[in-house]
Amino acid sequence: MRIIVAGGDGFCGWPTALYLSKQGHDVTIVDNLVRRKIDDELNSNSVTPIATLEERVEKWEELTGKEIQTFTGDLNHYDFLREVFRQTNPDAFVHFAEQRSAPYSMIDREHAVYTQSNNVIGNLNVLYAIKEFAPECHLIKLGTMGEYGTPNIDIEEGYIEIEHKGRKDLLPYPKQPGSFYHLSKVHDSHNIMFACKIWGIRATDLNQGVVYGLHTEETKMDPVLANRVDYDGVYGTALNRFINQAAIGHDITVYGSGGQTRAFLNIEDTVRCVEIAAENPADQGEFRVFNQFTEWFSVNDLAERVQKIAKEEGLDTQVKKIENPRIESEEHYYNAVNTKLRDLGLEPHLLTDDVIRDILRVAVENKERIIEENVLPSITWK
């Protein structure tokens, strides 16, 4: 298939682009490279050194003989997006190209407005481009399990049957997002569902859990293909942040009581889930929702596991509870359904001690790149 990977220079997008290319698809990356600029804004970096996008795709072609075309530009600029569609005529559009950090969206008014305008308007432009230039194109949109929040009932896959005053209906599952970033994802979902209804677009919303991990088989082929690893309090997800704290001998800092429970998946499963969605497209006019995760853990679970592996590696680190910078439930019920991707063939890579150890060893090898003051939260919801 001809597949566009928007946000293909990022943590999820880059390994996905390589994986799809290796599987024989004609892959095009679209990215405005803003994530690299945000590193400069935050005085932060990736633990792993990362090459430029141009160097990355050149190395990939050198190693595999497979070309990945790149377009540098912004989905918010419709003239640019229109030209990308005209030149590529995609069968599938994999949409990672959004500002993905909840803390970043909570810095101030400017960052909240940027997050929502970038994400919502960019996604709306994609919907119009599909309608106008590639009506058979399958939109594979990366959503988030964070759209659902932490309700006191089981989380279904996108829809829930409601019985009210003697009548039943299958309705979109209620959303309780926890940041302006998560709200942008909810708005995206509503816009996509509406576009499917009125224009007959086919779309799959992948409500992804928190992604951890480092390598895929493709990114391990050469250092130039290495993926980025975020560790700071803005973009670093809980597990990766804990591992990098341990690598430099810092306390593993748990927000609040640590009972917050979230869905997780390995980066190797991210790329496979996208492939599954692409190879099993939604029907015309269908807005399909898959919950894309493999396990769930509390923050305390993750902290204790990282501490255990760190000690086995000779690193003495303590788990420390700190004031929670977020407004969220710290003790809650959590049970989410994730059967659709498994039914289509997903074989999960689970969070083993060896996975944690592998990431930790890479962090130790690159610990001189970790800026210590960045491993603590600097942004509060209040």
Scanning 314-377, the segments in alpha helix (DSSP H) are 340-343, 353-365
DSSP 14-42: HHHHHHHHHTT-EEEEEE--HHHHHHHHH
Q: Is 19 a catalytic residue?
A: no
Q: Tell me whether residue 181 is one of the annotated catalytic residues.
A: yes
Whether 170 contacts 160, CB under 8 Å: yes
Q: How far apart are CA 290 and CA 116, in angstroms?
A: 23
Amino acid at 216: T
Exactly one of 48, 70, 144, 253 is catalytic; which is it? 144
Which amino acid is located at 365 in the chain? E
- Residues 263 and 291 sit within 8 Å (Cβ to Cβ): yes
- Residue corresponding to tokens 């962090």: 363
* Distance between CA atoms of residues 303 and 284, nearest Å: 44
Nearest to residue 116, comparing CAs of 96, 102, 137? Answer: 102
Spell out the residues 6+ positions from residue 276 whose beta carbon is closer than 8 angstroms to its own: 341, 344, 345, 346
The catalytically annotated residue of 181, 212, 231, 255 is 181
Beta strands in 37-173 (DSSP E): 69-72, 92-95, 138-144, 159-164, 167-172
Compute φ and ψ for 236, nearest 5 degrees. -75, 120
Could you tell me the sign of the dihedral formed by the alpha carbons of 217, 222, 225, 228, in that order?
A: positive
User: What string of DSSP letters covers 88-138?
Assistant: H--SEEEE--S---HHHHTS-HHHHHHHHIIIIIHHHHHHHHHHHH-TTPE
Instruction: Decide if 141 is catalytic.
Output: no
Q: How far is CA 72 from CA 10, 62, 84, 334, in A?
A: 13, 21, 10, 40
Contact 123, 188 (CB under 8 A): yes
Angle at 11 between CA 188 and CA 74, to 5 degrees: 50
Residue of 16, 104, 185, 219 marked catalytic: 185
Token readout for 346 is 């997903």
The residues carrying an active-site annotation are 144, 181, 185
